[in-house]
Amino acid sequence: MARRKILIAGAGLGGLAAASFLMKEGHEVEVYEQAPQLEEVGAGIQISANAMHALRTLGLEGAITKAGVRPGAYVFRLHDTGEVIQRFSLSEEHERLHGAPYTQLHRADFHEILAARARAFRPDVVRLNKRVTDFTQTADGVTLNFADGSSAQGDLLIGADGLKSVVRKQIVGETPATYTGDAAWRITVPIERLPKNFLEPVMSVFMGPGGHVVMYYLRAGAMLNFVGIIETDDVRDESWTVKMPWERLKADFAGWHEAIQTVIDAADKDKCYRWSLHNRPPIRNWSTARATLLGDAAHPTLPYLAQGAVMAIEDGAVLARALAMESDIPAALQLYQRNRIDRTARIVLQSTDNRRLFHLRSEAEIRAEFARRDEGKDRNKWLYSYNPITVELR
């Protein structure tokens, strides 16, 4: 297999994972990140078996398991009474069915684990303070240009620069982002502020009219993660760092289940963040002869299936395999893209559809919908059962 020099724009979860998959195959990799420091904000992230298969090949399963929590089940509840409407097993059953666990961990911990792995391959793999502005390509390679006036050369470029990707803009042009009508509140609460045996260690979704709440534990149960989605016309930025008044959060979930009130009451009042969720329809091409995309840059998604970062990890693993199988770079990028387009589009569309499912207007509608569907069976069949390391690439 030919050893390539690969440039990656963005040291987020997807860029760092891809860097390690590629260095493991013997490629020379440089990751360019705009931030002055390598750090992650945000809160919880869920890693299902379909990503864990790939992370395992990097030797990371132990570190991820140690930093995280394995939830017992995925539980759908009514927003006010908390009554369980449907439940599917995640712990032993997920591992038995798919051969890898389902883990929930803090994004910062996950990012640190991925960065340490990449730096173990190459200590200077991440170059900070390097904001990518654009790239040029020839038949032989790419040049990546930075805001500080410098540039870097490589055989190919991977745009892993997230939702507002400049590499995507250059490859596919402007793509419309439509405000969904939803904003995502995010808080984390140390467990000692909550009553003993507060909520069972499961992935809980409280479904209400015009909103839903997701709660699960992080850091070996030491922290509770809360994401509260609410429909609102007040549109702000798509960002983990937009703070909003605690009083707004409290008002948005007035009348919801007492466990939700307990968590909101225990939150740090100056650390309530709100992300305005935008939707972007799937695209059918994200590569040129020498450049491609992965993660949110390629297929931004709503978080309603918890698969955004998971897809980014799948992408990196499949891209490394495609480059090992196909020595011609344009053909390898096509092989990668061809094998990722349909799956990622399906996840994006299903995530969008889950907005409807989680925001049904009445208890009767929720009961009728869940009487018709078996979420666990469905997801086990097509979503969690994918393995990016063994799936046949065609």
Ligand X SMILES: Cc1cc2nc3c(=O)[nH]c(=O)nc-3n(C[C@H](O)[C@H](O)[C@H](O)COP(=O)(O)OP(=O)(O)OC[C@H]3O[C@@H](n4cnc5c(N)ncnc54)[C@H](O)[C@@H]3O)c2cc1C
Active site residue 216: yes
User: How far apart, in whole angstroms, are the C-alpha atoms of residue 350 and residue 347?
Assistant: 5
**Chain residue whose CB lies nearest ligand X:** 12
Residues 6+ apart with CB under 8 A from 24: 57, 58, 121, 320
Q: How far is the CB of 336 from ligand X (least distance, A)?
A: 15
Number of residues in contact with ligand X, rule: CB under 6 A? 33
Contacting ligand X (CB under 6 A), which of 21, 32, 74, 386? 32
Contacting ligand X (CB under 6 A), which of 19, 21, 23, 46? 46
User: How far apart, in whole angstroms, are the C-alpha atoms of residue 7 and residue 19?
Assistant: 9
Contacting ligand X (CB under 6 A), which of 10, 208, 376, 388? 10
Contacting ligand X (CB under 6 A), which of 161, 182, 252, 314? 161
* Residues of this chain, 263-292, that bind ligand X according to CB under 6 A: 275
- Nearer to ligand X by Cβ, of 189 and 312: the residue is 312
Catalytic residue among 74, 102, 216, 384: 216
- Binding window for ligand X (CB under 6 A); candidates: 33-41, 73-81, 84-92, 278-286: 33-41
Q: Pairing mode, if any, of strands 84-89 and 73-78?
A: antiparallel
Contacting ligand X (CB under 6 A), which of 182, 252, 296, 314? 296
14 binds ligand X (CB under 6 A): yes
Tokens of 368: 């009728």
Return the C-alpha torsion angle 349, 75, 214, 223, nearest 10: -130
Q: How far is the CB of 2 from ligand X (least distance, A)?
A: 26
User: How far apart, in whole angstroms, are the C-alpha atoms of residue 393 and residue 84?
Assistant: 40
DSSP assignment string, 162-215? -TT-HHHHHHH-----EEEEEEEEEEEEEGGGS-TT-S-SSEEEEEETTEEEEE
Could you tell me which residues are beta bridge partners of residue 211?
208, 230
| Residue numbers at the binding site for ligand X (CB under 6 A) | 9-15, 32-35, 45-46, 131-132, 160-163, 166, 184, 227, 275, 295-297, 303, 306-310, 312
